[in-house]
Amino acid sequence: MEDDLTTASGIPVKPIHYPEDCSNLDYDSHIGIPGEYPFTRGIRAEMYRARLWTMRQYSGYSTPEESNKRFHYLLNQGQTGLSIAFDLPTQTGYDSDHSISLGEVGKVGVPIDTLDDMETLLRDIPLEKVTTSMTINATAPVLLALYLSVAKKQGIPLDQVRGTIQNDILKEYIARGTYIYPPKHSMRLVTDIFTFCAEQVPNWNTISISGYHMREAGATAIQELAFTFSNAIEYVKAALKAGLDVDQFANRLSFFFVASTDLFEEIAKYRAARRIWADIMKTKFKAKNPKSMMLRFHTQTAGVTLTAQQIDNNVIRTTIQALAAVLGGTQSLHVNSKDEALSLPSEASAELSLRTQQILAHESGIINTVDPLAGSYYVEHLTNQLYEKTKILIDEVEDLGGAISGIENGFQALQIHESAYTLQKAIEAEDQIIVGVNKYQKPELEPAKITPVESSAAKSQMTKLSKIKASRDNAKVEASLLKLKSVASSDDNTIEPIMECVQAYATVGEISDVLRSVFGEHQETVII
């Protein structure tokens, strides 16, 4: 056996691991028991014996009507929560009829222009029973306002509405790019959501702090954790500065991590992550409520690992990844579909992804005991290594002045780019084998079927938007937008005025343009 094997993050792997590999771990302070600080073994005492993770398949495409049909289909197949994908114009604050939206309407998610679209998207879905996750960041306040407005129209009190909004703008500057405003103003909108929900929507998770997108851009598992927690520290600081008590909002913070294919490293990553977050909240921010120290997270299998070649292989990859997430103690899970390297997932492949979760839950036996790999010399060694190496990198970011300072000088982005380059070189040199890509290739006998977005979808969306603009009370719209501009120019909370705008059927683009006029737009940092 080779002596120089490592995990995907470069942690050395011995041929055999012994007790001394984890002898520096004090059981009570580092490992403990499930449901108790530092939560290494899970945030609940019984974990999946008491309640399964939420099976939340990420969906949205074409039009609100088509996406609503997919939601109902998946719920009827046993999905237990919604996860909404929005198209790029919606994510970046442009309406479907804007020139910059040409060619992007409904392509990577559902287009939402007005309250009418959100009502259509959620038609006949009982929002008091179904939890919803919305992957939206720069326009998070607007999409949250739209969702809550639909709940109000359904007669549901806001204190009964449950779900999660991503609202993690810092990772957009690092790895993803769907930002609008400069960091200072974006952080103000984040904390406006924190404050509004703490007062009016107490069961809503106000942020899903994401390492997923950084990992997809090339980060290692260590970088994924470190940069995610550095961002989280900035959000907590901003909330404290806004006058919130840490135990008032911390239990509504949630996280979003990738599940990649290095099985044991990924399992250890989640265990280390819980310990790190518990440490940060208890020692750095002096949280008193144990719920403030619990790391609650959603997991998605690694889209970047899916291959266009031999797409059936992707089913195996995502099954391994989903297994890692469950063995690592995730609270909710999305399993990518096998055809996503080619197109939107077909209905059949989306169903197969859901069935993957259901088979793991009901047939594998892995839910029968909590943290079944605890005590493994190898897993505990990896957990400790990931903990220590992540803490070192968090401290490095803090020494730069924190995550925002790091973003401004390109620190995180450069680190991720270097890791991505190293991995690509390994693939090209065949030091990292990708089955069907750089080894075991074979000619495709016939092209894989793809799920297209009909070209008529964008036209349909623009026609509907035109009708809404013609039929709404435009004087009321203008008055609501002027009020929002005044509030955005002050230090007052923007969420109530945004609610008024969306209930007057102002568009996502119109609301975003008002905020652009006050905050300006962020210009990307160029790394040379």
Q: What is the pLDDT of residues 462-509, one digit of tens each?
A: 999 999 999 999 999 999 999 999 999 999 999 999 999 999 999 999
345 and 464 co-located in one domain: no
CA 329 to CA 255: how far, in whole Å? 13
- Residue recorded with tokens 């938007």: 465
Percentage with pLDDT > 90 across the chain: 91
* Other residues' Cβ atoms within 10 Å of the Cβ of residue 422: 13
Q: How far apart are the first and last CA of the chain?
A: 41
3-state secondary structure of 185: helix
Distances (CA, A) of 22 to 25, 173, 264, 283: 6, 37, 15, 24
Tell me the angle at which helices 377-399 and 263-279 cross, rounded to the nearest 10 degrees.
50
Give the CATH number, domain containing residue 132: 3.20.20.240
Contact predicate 331/287, CB 8 Å = no
Contact predicate 439/430, CB 8 Å = yes
- DSSP-derived secondary structure letter, 87: -
Band of the pLDDT at 528, cuts 50, 70, 90? low
- DSSP-derived secondary structure letter, 158: G
Residue 385, domain member (yes or no): yes
Closest CA to 31 of 395, 389, 376, 263: 376
Residue 215, domain member (yes or no): yes
Tokens of 183: 């960091």
Contact predicate 232/284, CB 8 Å = no
3-state secondary structure of 83: strand
Closest CA to 282 of 270, 272, 293, 273: 293
Percentage with pLDDT > 70 across the chain: 97
Structure confidence by residue, pLDDT tens digits, 328-373: 999 999 999 999 999 889 999 999 999 999 999 999 999 999 999 9
221 and 284 co-located in one domain: yes
Tokens of 118: 């959100």
3-state secondary structure of 10: coil
204 and 110 co-located in one domain: yes
Q: What is the mean pLDDT of residues 380-402?
A: 97
Distance, CA of 45 to chain centre? 25
Range of the domain at 206: 41-428
Among the three residues 375, 410, 428, which one is the final residue of a domain in this structure?
428
Contact predicate 252/197, CB 8 Å = yes
CA atoms within 13 A on the CB side of 334: 26
Residue 400, domain member (yes or no): yes
Per-residue pLDDT at 39 exceeds 50 = yes
233 and 374 co-located in one domain: yes
Band of the pLDDT at 3, cuts 50, 70, 90? low
Largest CA distance in the chain: 75
Indicate the pairing of strand 163-165 with strand 58-59: unpaired
414 and 505 co-located in one domain: no
pLDDT of 1? 42
CA dihedral sign of residues 443, 447, 451, 454: positive
Contact predicate 93/143, CB 8 Å = no
Q: What is the mean pLDDT of residues 369-393?
A: 96
- Which contacts of 237-242 are long-range, i.e. CB under 8 A and separated by 24 or more positions? 237/402, 238/187, 238/190, 238/191, 239/191, 239/194, 240/285, 241/191, 242/191, 242/194, 242/195
Band of the pLDDT at 407, cuts 50, 70, 90? very high
Which carries the bigger pLDDT value, residue 527 or residue 335?
Answer: 335
pLDDT of 451? 74
129 and 175 co-located in one domain: yes
- Residue recorded with tokens 């265990």: 271
Alpha helix (H) residue ranges in 218-262: 221-241, 246-249
**Adjacent-strand bridge partners of 201:** none
Contact predicate 346/69, CB 8 Å = no
Closest CA to 465 of 75, 4, 17, 89: 89
Residue 514, domain member (yes or no): yes
Whole-number average pLDDT of the chain: 94
Write phi, then psi, for 269 (nearest 5 degrees).
-60, -45
Cis? peptide before 38, omega within 30° of 0? yes
Structure confidence by residue, pLDDT tens digits, 412-454: 999 999 999 999 999 999 999 999 999 999 987 777 777 777 7
Among the three residues 384, 413, 428, which one is the final residue of a domain in this structure?
428
Structure confidence by residue, pLDDT tens digits, 142-180: 999 999 999 999 999 999 999 999 999 999 999 999 999
Sheet with 204-205: strands ordered across: 58-59, 82-85, 132-135, 163-165, 204-205
Residue 438, domain member (yes or no): no
Residue 158, domain member (yes or no): yes
Query: In sequence order, which residues have a C-beta less than 8 Å from that of residue 26 and are 6 or more positions away?
Result: none
pLDDT of 319? 98
Q: Model's pTM, two decimal places?
A: 0.94
Residue 34, domain member (yes or no): no
Total domains in the fold of the chain: 2
Residue 156, domain member (yes or no): yes
409 and 475 co-located in one domain: no
Band of the pLDDT at 456, cuts 50, 70, 90? confident
376 and 473 co-located in one domain: no
129 and 239 co-located in one domain: yes
Among the three residues 428, 448, 478, which one is the final residue of a domain in this structure?
428
389 and 463 co-located in one domain: no
CA 474 to CA 418: how far, in whole Å? 51
CA 172 to CA 270: how far, in whole Å? 22
Per-residue pLDDT at 28 exceeds 70 = no
369 and 482 co-located in one domain: no
Please report, as a single letter, which amino acid is at residue 189.
L
**Adjacent-strand bridge partners of 59:** 84
Query: In sequence order, which residues have a C-beta less than 8 Å from that of residue 76 and are 6 or more positions away?
Result: none
- DSSP-derived secondary structure letter, 443: -
348 and 212 co-located in one domain: yes
Tokens of 508: 């996502």
